[in-house]
Amino acid sequence: MGKFRDFFFEDDDVNVADGYYNQPVANTPAPSPQPQHNSKVVKFDTNREPATNVDSHIELVEPRLYGDAREIATQLLNGTAVIVNFGQMDPNLAMKVIDFLNGTVFAIDGEINRIGEQIFLCAPKNFAIDGKLAVTLDKLNPDEL
């Protein structure tokens, strides 16, 4: 750094140290980050345990177009169970979507069950469906949907 300083300042009387000073630094551990709580969150049920490590959840879908079947199938392929309400769909079109979802559920070794008049539960393999509400899909026709 001396030559650099001499080139620009030409003053040799200035004492400038060219090296760095090695000072010992204390090895103190960094403080652990504290979780921040959002004050805008409102708890409705204080008796419930918080769902911290939820691996699976259920998606609610109300399709209106045949193209919505692809979104439902993607959810199933990602391991998410889907409750499908066909109340807003033409019955003939809904039957086609059910056929599509039946193929998707078969491919992933899952289940599809009717749980209401126009409501179906599609679940991947990692979900267990128990109960006697389900109606077999072979007995359905578009008029019943």
The H or E element containing residue 112 is: strand 111-114
In tens digits, what is the pLDDT along the chain, a chain of 145 residues?
A: 566 566 556 555 555 555 556 666 666 666 665 555 444 444 445 455 555 555 668 889 999 999 899 999 999 999 899 999 999 899 999 999 999 999 999 999 999 988 888 999 999 888 877 776 545 555 555 565 5
pTM value > 0.85 = no
Structural domains of the chain, with CATH: 58-139 (3.30.110.150)
